[in-house]
Chain A
C-alpha cells in the first residue's frame, strides 16, 4: 500500500509497518541494482578479480 492509496491513513501504524517494509525493500533493491550495474560495467571493460571471496 502506498500513501496515495485510498485506504492509507497517516497514523503511526501505517508509518511503522509500511515504512519498515519499503525501507527493507529499498535496501535490497538498491544493493542488488548496485551489484548488477557494477558487474555489467566490469564485464564490459573486461576486468578480472581475484578468487577467494567467501
Chain B
C-alpha cells in the first residue's frame, strides 16, 4: 500500500506488520506522554527529587544520550573534515541516531525545567558565568545542525525527491555539509565539555571536583573525549541491532571495522587519561579537601556504591572494550564486536551516573549520612519515553528514507523486484 514511498531497490516488511510494531512501541510512548502531562499539570512534586538530588534520573539520561549521540559529530568530523570517505556509508545513520539523542535530551530538559514556558530565559537573560548557559547555547545550536543534516535525508524520499526544488535543496545541502559538520564539531566540543565541567567545578563536592587548565577542569576534556570514543560505539551498536531486527546486512564490514578501530583507539587514549585523572584525584585532589578515596566507596549505609562501581566503569566497561576494539581479530568477530561496543556504551552511561548521581549521594558534612534516591514511576516513564520515540523515528526513517546506501547492493532483490 505504501510501496510508492519505499526507496528503490530495497524490500520492507508488509505495512500491517510495520504498523503493529509501531502500535506496540507507541503504547510505551503513550505511557511516557501521560507521565509527562502529569508533571506539566501537577508539577515537579511528581518526582522523587529532593534537596539532595536537584539533578536526578533525567539529568543522567540527558548526559548519557548526549554522550552517545556524540557519534554524529565525531563521524561527521571524520567524514567531512578528515576525509574518511568510507564513512559515507554510515554517516546517515549516525546523523539519525544523533538527531534522536539530541531531540530526546531537549525533550527531557523541557520536562525537567519545571516551567517550560520560561525556557527561553536562559537565552535572553543569560548568566555568562555558567557552564550550563554554554551547554544550553551549544545544545540548541547543535540540534539545529543535526536537523539541517537530517533534512536532506527526508528530501531524498522517493516521492519528495520528484519535486525539483526539494531535489536541488537536498543536493545543495549535501554540497556544503562540511561547513555544517565543522560547526557541529565546534559546538559539540564545547557542550560535551561543559557538561563535564559542571561537576568538575563543584568545589563543595570533593567527589566531583577536579583540578584543570584555566577555568576548565579535567572533566571538561574527559567528557568530550569519552563522547567521541563511545558515540561511534553506540552508532555501531544500534546499526547491529537494526540489522538483527531487519535480518539484513545494512553496512559493509569494512566500514564498521574502520569506525570501530577509530573508536577503539579513542577509547584507549580516553581510558588512559581517565585512569591518570582518577589516580591524581584520589592521591592529591580529594586528600587536599580532607577526604580519602575509600570515604567515597565504604561506610555508606543506605547506599549501594562501593569500589565495584569504579572497577566496573574503568575496568570492565573501559579498559576491556578499549583493548577489544583495537584488536583486529575481535573486530572481525561479530559477537565480540557487539560485546565490546555494548561495554563501551555502558561505560559512558556508568560514567555519567557516577558523576551525577553518586556525586550527590556522597555526604559533604561530617554529620550527614549518605543520601538515597529512587526515581518515581513518572520519572522512569518520561525517561523511557524518548527511547520509544527514538525507535519509532528510526523505524519510519528506515522504512521510507535511503538511510543505508549499501543496503541494495548487500541485499539484491530477486528478479522482478522493485
List the interface of chain A (C-beta within 8 A of B).
1, 5, 7, 11, 13-14, 16-18, 20-21, 24-25, 27-28, 31-32, 34-36, 38-40, 42-43, 46-47, 49, 53-54
Q: Pick from B145, B168, B405: contact of A49, CB below 8 A.
A: B168
- A38 B168 Cβ-Cβ under 8 A: yes
Give A22 to B158 CA distance when docked, in angstroms.
36
By beta carbon, the residue of chain B nearest A5 is B124
Q: How far is the CB of B182 from chain A (nearest CB, A)?
A: 9
Q: Pick from A1, A16, A25: contact of B124, CB below 8 A.
A: A1
Interface-forming stretch among B169-177, B237-245, B251-259, B308-316? Answer: B169-177
- Would A46 and B164 be within 8 Å (CB), given that A24-B187, A28-B145 are in contact? yes
- A24 B88 Cβ-Cβ under 8 A: no
B397 at the interface (CB under 8 A from A): no
Contacts of B190 in A (CB 8 A): 20
- B141 A25 Cβ-Cβ under 8 A: yes
B42 at the interface (CB under 8 A from A): no
- A31 B180 Cβ-Cβ under 8 A: yes
Interface class of chain B by DSSP: helix
**Could you list 27 examples of A-B contacts with CB < 8 Å?**
A1-B124, A1-B126, A7-B125, A13-B129, A14-B128, A16-B128, A17-B126, A17-B128, A17-B134, A18-B128, A20-B190, A25-B141, A27-B179, A28-B141, A28-B180, A28-B183, A31-B176, A31-B180, A32-B148, A35-B173, A35-B175, A38-B168, A39-B165, A39-B168, A43-B164, A43-B168, A49-B168
- A24 B148 Cβ-Cβ under 8 A: no
List the interface of chain B (C-beta within 8 A of A).
88, 91-92, 123-126, 128-129, 133-134, 137-138, 141, 144-145, 148, 164-166, 168-169, 171-176, 179-180, 183, 186-187, 190, 405
Contacts of A1 in B (CB 8 A): 123-126
Interface class of chain A by DSSP: helix
Give A35 to B165 CA distance when docked, in angstroms.
10
- A34 B176 Cβ-Cβ under 8 A: yes
Q: How far is the CB of A34 from chain B (nearest CB, A)?
A: 7
- B164 A18 Cβ-Cβ under 8 A: no
- B141 A53 Cβ-Cβ under 8 A: no
Q: How far is the CB of A50 from chain B (nearest CB, A)?
A: 9
Contacts of B169 in A (CB 8 A): 35-36, 39
Give A13 to B137 CA distance when docked, in angstroms.
14
Give A33 to B206 CA distance when docked, in angstroms.
48
Q: How far is the CB of B136 from chain A (nearest CB, A)?
A: 10
Contacts of A11 in B (CB 8 A): 128
Q: How far is the CB of B74 from chain A (nearest CB, A)?
A: 18
Contacts of B176 in A (CB 8 A): 31, 34-35
Q: How far is the CB of B126 from chain A (nearest CB, A)?
A: 6
- A28 B144 Cβ-Cβ under 8 A: yes
- Looking at A14, A20, A39, which has the most chain B CB atoms within 10 Å of its CB? A39
Q: How far is the CB of B198 from chain A (nearest CB, A)?
A: 16
